[in-house]
């Protein structure tokens, strides 16, 4: 679409009500409204490249410790190996997750979640909503949880997890995490089979208008162009900087470098320059960085937390999944 028509549309401003069934951004805004009304802090995306919303410090680091924490945010996710040069209707190397973290997990968390689906236009008497067992584990973060994938007419639309451990520590209290796959949900609600055909807003801008060229170029860069020597170099630097930050007792900064290293590893994977044997060793290095950052963060904060919550203690490390 051309700029002219867009200006024309803008000259007739639409009524400022939201239409989540017809606009991707209205769906996001509706979720913001919903979770804001339910006491969540509405955050902006973390300003780093990451593979999943769970890496946002608002999820990982805030899942540690006794303090209540309720937040919602959109997180752009980068999965270099999922790039398809804009040619696959379902797969993207960059997409959005909507994250909600509620700590402690409220007893009506499932009802709240279902209410949010109603808010964006999914009627559970018209669509078959199901909670199907799906446990979550991230060895990188030393984390695991139990929960479900939520199905809507057979399609997975949300990952629903009760965090049990993070950074190797028991979550006390447990946080509930909801991760909505925004593009899938929107495709479902809008009745669209190709992600690029999604209406991004109600003014004629499609998801393709916004992201198609980005997918083409970034897929090419991820798979073909990125200079691998530089990536290896950056990985080593991020690793060194993470250790430097840990040594100087600033674990949040260390955690950022772990996230950076994780993404660089994903890029190296997409470039196909990490052999099967090396793969395990790189994953181990990323895991060490992320875990030590989480551990250091928890240990640094523990005295403050324990003072505010006398019934709380950091102990409980080592219990494992299963």
Taking the complex as a whole, the smallest distance from the CB of residue 179 to other proteins amounts, in Å, to 17
Q: Closer to other proteins at the Cβ: 148 or 180?
A: 148
Q: Closer to other proteins at the Cβ: 164 or 262?
A: 164
Q: Interior CA angle at 259 toward 258 and 262, to 5°?
A: 85
Taking the complex as a whole, the smallest distance from the CB of residue 60 to other proteins amounts, in Å, to 18
Residues 251 and 322: their CA atoms lie apart, in Å, by 29
Taking the complex as a whole, the smallest distance from the CB of residue 39 to other proteins amounts, in Å, to 15
Q: Closer to other proteins at the Cβ: 19 or 135?
A: 135
Contact residues for other proteins, defined by CB under 8 A: 66, 90, 104-107, 110, 114, 123-133, 135, 145-148, 152-155, 162, 164, 170-174, 176, 188, 193, 276, 309, 311-312, 315-316, 319, 321-322
Q: What count of other Cβ atoms lies within 10 Å of the Cβ of residue 280?
A: 10
Taking the complex as a whole, the smallest distance from the CB of residue 171 to other proteins amounts, in Å, to 7
Residues 75 and 99: their CA atoms lie apart, in Å, by 7
Q: Closer to other proteins at the Cβ: 106 or 208?
A: 106
Sequence-distant (6+) residues with CB within 8 A of 16 are: none
The pair of three-digit structure tokens given for residue 117, joined into one six-digit string = 């689906």
* Start-end of H helices in 70-223: 109-119, 182-190, 207-220
Whether the CA torsion 251, 257, 261, 266 is positive or negative: it is: positive
Q: Collapse the DSSP code of 142 into the 3-class scheme (helix H, G, I; strand E, B; otherwise coil) and give the result.
A: coil
Q: Closer to other proteins at the Cβ: 51 or 147?
A: 147
Taking the complex as a whole, the smallest distance from the CB of residue 212 to other proteins amounts, in Å, to 20
């Amino acid at each position: 679409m051309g700029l002219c028509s867009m200006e024309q549309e803008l000259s007739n401003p639409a009524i400022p009500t939201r239409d989540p069934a017809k606009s991707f951004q209205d769906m996001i805004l509706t979720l913001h409204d919903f979770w804001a009304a339910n006491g969540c802090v509405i955050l902006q995306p973390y300003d780093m490249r990451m593979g999943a919303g769970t890496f946002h410090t608002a999820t990982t680091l805030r899942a540690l410790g006794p303090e209540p924490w309720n937040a919602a945010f959109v997180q752009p996710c980068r999965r270099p190996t999922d790039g398809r040069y804009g040619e696959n209707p379902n797969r993207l190397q960059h997409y959005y997750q909507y994250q909600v973290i509620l700590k402690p997990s409220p007893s009506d968390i499932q009802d709240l979640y279902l209410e949010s689906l109603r808010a964006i236009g999914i009627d559970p008497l018209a669509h078959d909503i199901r909670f199907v067992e799906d446990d979550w584990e991230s060895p990188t973060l030393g984390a695991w949880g139990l929960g479900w994938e939520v199905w809507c007419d057979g399609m997975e639309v949300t990952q629903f997890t009760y965090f049990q451990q993070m950074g190797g520590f028991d979550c006390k209290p447990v946080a509930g995490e909801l991760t909505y796959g925004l593009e899938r949900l929107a495709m479902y609600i809008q009745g669209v089979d190709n992600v690029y055909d999604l209406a991004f807003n109600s003014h004629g801008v499609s998801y393709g208008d916004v992201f198609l060229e980005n997918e083409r170029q970034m897929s090419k860069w991820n798979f073909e162009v990125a200079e691998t020597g530089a990536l290896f170099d950056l990985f080593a630097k991020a690793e060194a900087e993470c250790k430097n930050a840990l040594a100087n007792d600033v674990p949040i900064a260390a955690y950022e470098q772990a996230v950076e290293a994780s993404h660089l590893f994903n890029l190296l994977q997409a470039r196909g320059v990490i052999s099967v044997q090396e793969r395990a060793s790189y994953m181990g290095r990323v895991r060490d960085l992320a875990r030590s950052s989480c551990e250091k963060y928890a240990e640094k904060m523990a005295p403050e937390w324990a003072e505010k919550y006398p019934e709380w203690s950091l102990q409980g490390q080592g219990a494992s999944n299963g």
